[in-house]
Amino acid sequence: MKTIVLLSALLLVSGLKAQEKVTFTAADGLTVYANLYEIDETLPYILLFHQAGFSKGEYKASAVKLLKLGYNCLAVDLRSGDNVNFTPNETAQEAKSKGLSTDYMDSEPDMLAAIEWAYNKSNKKVVLFGSSYSASLALKVGRSNPKVKAVVAFSPGEYFQPGFILKDHLNGYDIPVFVACSQREYAYMGSLLAAIPDNLKTVFKPQEGPGEHGSKALWNANPSSNEYWLALLLFFKTLE
């Protein structure tokens, strides 16, 4: 009953929280743009990373709900992306104007800069939250990173072949991992995540409906979104 009450509170959002645009600098000098959803700067941060062709706008609604878990949220524009929910990707625009590469793997410095920014704000470990290609990058970056508490990965996959094989770099995981996917993607996750110990990983697929790729699974338009939210809530309860 307590879990149901918590889920109801999570899903009932009365209007957007105020958000603030912030910037920080990646290691190669690129300015990274993000939307900050902050309750209290002493609280830990969830870092929200979008899927291919998208922007920080992927989390317009989800970030507000995630605040109810007792975390601040930082929705980051990675340099590989474009536009979603009427929100342009400002980091991608700047990268292109500077002639920088915007392949998926090129977004890693942006993620590392976001980790530094958020960790320095609260002095608390962050939770990485990725969608599609950024879910895979989150798994890569989160491994053995002393500033990362856990990884949430919606629809990770081998998006970087042939130059980088993700499943070959997941040995040695020692932090909790939550992976969400569609029903179609579920069977593949067993192979992809084989190196992560079973006691550290939770792999979720919806029971009703086919599900959705990436963090769009949490959008209200997805008929099984409540299933994803409940599974995510239960995972975050284990982090308390």
Which residues lie closer than 8 Å to 192 by C-beta, 6 or more apart?
156, 157, 158, 166, 167
| Mean pLDDT on 76-80 | 98
| Mean pLDDT on 62-77 | 97
Report the pLDDT value the prediction gives residue 221, as an integer from 0 to 100: 96
Per-residue pLDDT band at 57 (split at 50, 70, 90): very high
Per-residue pLDDT band at 19 (split at 50, 70, 90): confident
Rounded to whole angstroms, the Cα distance separating 137 from 144 reads: 13
Rounded to whole angstroms, the Cα distance separating 127 from 67 reads: 13
Stronger pLDDT, 66 or 8, i.e. the higher one: 66
pTM value > 0.75: yes
Per-residue pLDDT band at 49 (split at 50, 70, 90): very high
Q: Is the pLDDT confidence value at 18 over 90? A: no
Q: Is the pLDDT confidence value at 15 over 90? A: no
Chain-centre distance for alpha carbon 89: 16
Percent of the chain with pLDDT over 90: 91
Report the pLDDT value the prediction gives residue 151, as an integer from 0 to 100: 98
Report the pLDDT value the prediction gives residue 3, as an integer from 0 to 100: 53
Q: Is the pLDDT confidence value at 71 over 50? A: yes
Q: Is the pLDDT confidence value at 207 over 90? A: yes
Residues belonging to the chain? 240
| Mean pLDDT on 56-80 | 97
pLDDT in tens, 85-131: 999 999 999 999 999 999 999 999 999 999 999 999 999 999 999 99
Question: Around 133, how many Cα atoms within 13 Å sit in the side-chain half-sphere?
Answer: 22
| Mean pLDDT on 75-90 | 98
Q: Are 139 and 171 in contact (CB under 8 A)?
A: no
